[in-house]
């Protein structure tokens, strides 16, 4: 039985290592792997293990926001994560090789239904107060549109911020918009559309070019 | 008591220092053996002078005023100081110049990602020798330096900094659209690159295919044949440049460790023609880089073709210990 570290450390000859996002993209990521013939039965049944061996791939599972960290350092050759994560960590040096087209969400600016506080803040105070889990995306959006915002980073349910008066608006990822509806919030501006992306380590992209390209082609959504 | 050092800086203790010094001695010997004499330049320079070589020194990480009120900057690499040195101290000397250095440089990187703000670079500059022979000689020295460091599995990626921008010019893509496409390529965003290319008006299917195919073309000399099949003047010229360099590498016996890479684009502003990146299978980060910068010395008043490379010494050290560990594990 090889030690986990032997399986996971970057090795020239070993299986390619693919980082997978647990969380919102998990189900569709496993379906996508099934489609290209990777056996995911073990991943589906065992929720506590972190490292799996399946065919010619080593699969390592983690939070979506950790995927770029592992791939940039070469602890994984490739990884799947959301464009929202990549936008928020845009200084990471990884190859963004493929749009997997699933898990589509919108990054939006939202405010309270019919509330004018956002515009009023900007006019009278010179800046909007915005709560978000994506401070860098938010700051960049306001910078690019020539406005100022006081961006407040929160970790949990961001909808709470405008309800409790911490902020007048939020920048957040929206799939169906139901959470916004339920909390009396509405979309004001759309910032970006985010889908699942395949990323590659800079060195693996060069030294294991054929294997990387082969996996990219297998994962490429049909008809694209 | 804890007395901190600034972010991205560190102390080095004897055990590590002994290994670093041994590595540096091996590199220095490899450089000297090939006629590359070592130079030193000041750690601090006038910010205006560095800016003449690279506009981005306007944002150098460490800038401060001296007692006379002059703005000084810490160097972020050795290439610009050496360009200044060649144009001033060596202005009456006969080129080519073969110079080497092992020196610390400073950048405002994010220290939480295992990168240091003060780091050591070891490299050479070959000034006054044009492509392709000058480029090939630099790669030969680079290969010898990697061997001297014990990194026999390390690979050199060789690309062409002008290929993509010349191709865009040939296709009439200009202005913001052109800058956006080059930025996507430099930041390795191949998905964004495709979106940006698709927004170019009046692009025929063949040109679109060429723009999207090039960044993935990497491997042996067969890559150049595939590229030439794509067609176009810019691709043909870049392929010719790379082929000439590659032929010289074959003669020098170092072609085996070089991978041609038509998608390579480094974000340093002064590269012209060949660009280099160094990879080792034991490390997820690049070990160093380099290339040609034929117009850089001219910015200091002396027109001379030039090429060079810089290796990150601390990363070489990490790669060394990884290689040793892997060898130990397999034995």
Instruction: Please write the tens of the pLDDT for every residue from A14-53.
Output: 899 999 999 999 999 999 999 999 999 998 987 788 999 9
Kindly state whether residues A98 and A199 are assigned to the same domain. Answer: yes
Instruction: Quote the pLDDT of residue B322.
Output: 86
Query: What are the two backbone dihedrals, phi and then psi, of residue A183, each rounded to the nearest 5 degrees?
Result: -105, 15
Residue A158, domain member (yes or no) = yes
Nearest alpha carbon to residue B272 among B297, B288, B294: B294
Instruction: Quote the pLDDT of residue A12.
Output: 59
CA B233 – CA B227 distance, rounded (Å): 11
Kindly state whether residues A129 and A213 are assigned to the same domain. Answer: no
Which strands make up the sheet holding A95-99, listed edge to edge? A51-54, A57-62, A16-21, A78-82, A196-200, A95-99
8 Å CB contact of B219 and A204: no
8 Å CB contact of A72 and B284: yes
* Mean pLDDT, residues A176-205 taken together: 94
Instruction: Quote the pLDDT of residue A6.
Output: 52
Kindly state whether residues A138 and A167 are assigned to the same domain. Answer: yes
Residue A185, domain member (yes or no) = yes
Kindly state whether residues A179 and A72 are assigned to the same domain. Answer: no
Kindly state whether residues A140 and A181 are assigned to the same domain. Answer: yes
Residue A76, domain member (yes or no) = yes
Q: Which domain holds residue A12?
A: 4-103+195-219
pLDDT in tens, B91-130: 899 999 999 999 999 998 876 666 789 999 999 999 999 9
CA B243 – CA B238 distance, rounded (Å): 8
Kindly state whether residues A115 and A73 are assigned to the same domain. Answer: no
pLDDT score of A1 more than 50: no
8 Å CB contact of A203 and B281: yes
Taken as a whole, chain A contains a residue count of 224
Kindly state whether residues A33 and A46 are assigned to the same domain. Answer: yes
pLDDT in tens, B254-296: 999 999 999 998 765 678 899 999 999 988 899 999 999 999 9
H or E, element range at B105? strand B97-106
For residue B326, list chain A residues with Cβ-Cβ distance below 8 A: 9, 11
Report the CATH number that the domain containing residue A14 is assigned in CATH: 3.40.190.10
pLDDT score of A63 more than 60: yes
Kindly state whether residues A187 and A129 are assigned to the same domain. Answer: yes
Number of structural domains (chain A) is: 2
Kindly state whether residues A213 and A128 are assigned to the same domain. Answer: no
B18 touches chain A (CB under 8 A): no
* Mean pLDDT, residues A102-120 taken together: 88
Residue A128, domain member (yes or no) = yes
8 Å CB contact of A203 and B259: no
pLDDT score of A82 more than 80: yes
Nearest to B284 among A12, A97, A201 (CB): A201
Q: Among A104-108, B138-142, B191-195, B267-271, where is mean pLDDT lowest? A: B267-271
A72 touches chain B (CB under 8 A): yes
A4 touches chain B (CB under 8 A): no
Asked if the bond preceding B96 is cis, omega within 30° of 0, the reply is: yes
Instruction: Quote the pLDDT of residue B59.
Output: 81
Residue A224, domain member (yes or no) = no
B157 touches chain A (CB under 8 A): yes
Question: Quick one: pLDDT band at residue A224, thresholds 50, 70, 90?
Answer: low
Kindly state whether residues A147 and A210 are assigned to the same domain. Answer: no
Residue A60, domain member (yes or no) = yes
Instruction: Quote the pLDDT of residue B115.
Output: 78
DSSP designation for A221: P
Kindly state whether residues A150 and A72 are assigned to the same domain. Answer: no
Query: Hey, what are B123's tokens?
Result: 């490299």
Question: Quick one: pLDDT band at residue A13, thresholds 50, 70, 90?
Answer: low
Residue A137, domain member (yes or no) = yes
In order of A25, A78, A173, B206, B320, the CA distances from A10 in angstroms are: 25, 11, 33, 38, 14
Kindly state whether residues A64 and A123 are assigned to the same domain. Answer: no
Residue A89, domain member (yes or no) = yes
Query: Hey, what are A198's tokens?
Result: 């395949």
B110 touches chain A (CB under 8 A): yes
pLDDT score of B164 more than 60: yes
């Amino acid at each position: 039985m090889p030690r986990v570290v032997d399986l996971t450390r970057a090795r020239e000859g070993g299986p390619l290592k693919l980082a997978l996002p647990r969380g919102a993209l998990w189900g569709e990521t496993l379906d996508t792997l099934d489609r290209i013939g990777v056996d995911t039965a073990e991943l589906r049944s065992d929720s506590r293990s972190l490292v799996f061996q399946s065919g010619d791939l080593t699969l390592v599972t983690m939070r979506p926001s950790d995927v770029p960290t592992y791939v940039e350092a070469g602890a994984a050759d490739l990884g799947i994560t959301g464009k929202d994560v990549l936008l928020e960590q845009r200084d990471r040096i990884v190859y963004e090789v493929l749009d997997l087209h699933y898990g589509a969400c919108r990054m939006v600016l939202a405010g309270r239904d019919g509330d004018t506080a956002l515009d009023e803040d900007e006019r009278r105070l010179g800046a909007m107060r915005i709560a978000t889990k994506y401070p860098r995306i938010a700051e960049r959006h306001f910078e690019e549109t020539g406005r100022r915002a006081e961006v407040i980073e929160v970790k949990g349910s961001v909808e709470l911020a405008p309800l409790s008066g911490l902020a007048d608006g939020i920048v957040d990822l929206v799939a169906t918009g139901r959470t916004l509806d339920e909390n009396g919030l509405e979309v004001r501006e759309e910032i970006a559309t985010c889908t699942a992306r395949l990323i590659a380590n800079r060195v693996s992209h060069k030294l294991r070019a054929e294997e990387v390209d082969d996996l990219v082609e297998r994962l490429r959504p049909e008809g694209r | 008591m804890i007395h901190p050092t600034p972010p991205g800086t560190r102390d080095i203790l004897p055990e590590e220092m002994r290994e670093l010094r041994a590595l540096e001695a091996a590199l220095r010997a490899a450089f000297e053996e090939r006629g590359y004499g070592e130079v030193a330049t000041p750690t601090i320079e006038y910010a205006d002078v560095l800016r003449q070589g690279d506009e981005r020194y306007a944002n150098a990480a460490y800038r401060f005023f001296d007692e006379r009120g002059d703005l000084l900057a810490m160097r972020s690499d050795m290439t610009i100081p050496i360009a200044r040195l060649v144009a001033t101290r060596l202005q009456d000397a006969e080129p080519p110049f073969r110079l080497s250095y092992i020196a610390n440089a400073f950048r405002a990187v994010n220290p939480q990602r295992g990168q240091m703000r003060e780091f050591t670079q070891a490299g050479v500059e070959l000034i006054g020798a044009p492509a392709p022979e000058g480029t090939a000689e630099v790669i030969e020295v680079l290969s010898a330096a990697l061997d001297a460091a014990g990194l026999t599995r390390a690979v050199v990626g060789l690309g062409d900094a002008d290929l993509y921008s010349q191709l865009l010019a040939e296709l009439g893509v200009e202005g913001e659209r052109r800058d956006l496409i080059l930025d996507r390529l430099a930041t390795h965003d191949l998905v964004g690159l495709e979106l940006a290319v698709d927004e170019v008006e009046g692009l025929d299917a063949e040109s679109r295919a060429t723009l999207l195919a090039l960044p993935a073309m990497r491997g042996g000399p067969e890559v150049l044949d595939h590229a030439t099949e794509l067609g176009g003047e810019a691709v043909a010229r870049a392929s010719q440049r790379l082929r000439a360099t590659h032929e010289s590498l074959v003669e020098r016996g170092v072609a085996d460790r070089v991978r041609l890479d038509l998608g390579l684009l480094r974000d340093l502003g002064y590269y012209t023609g060949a660009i280099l990146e160094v990879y080792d299978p034991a490390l997820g980060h690049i070990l160093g880089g380099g290339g040609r910068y034929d117009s850089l010395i001219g910015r200091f008043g002396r027109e001379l073709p030039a090429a060079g490379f810089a290796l990150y010494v601390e990363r070489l050290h990490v790669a060394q210990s990884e290689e040793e560990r892997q060898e130990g594990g397999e034995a």
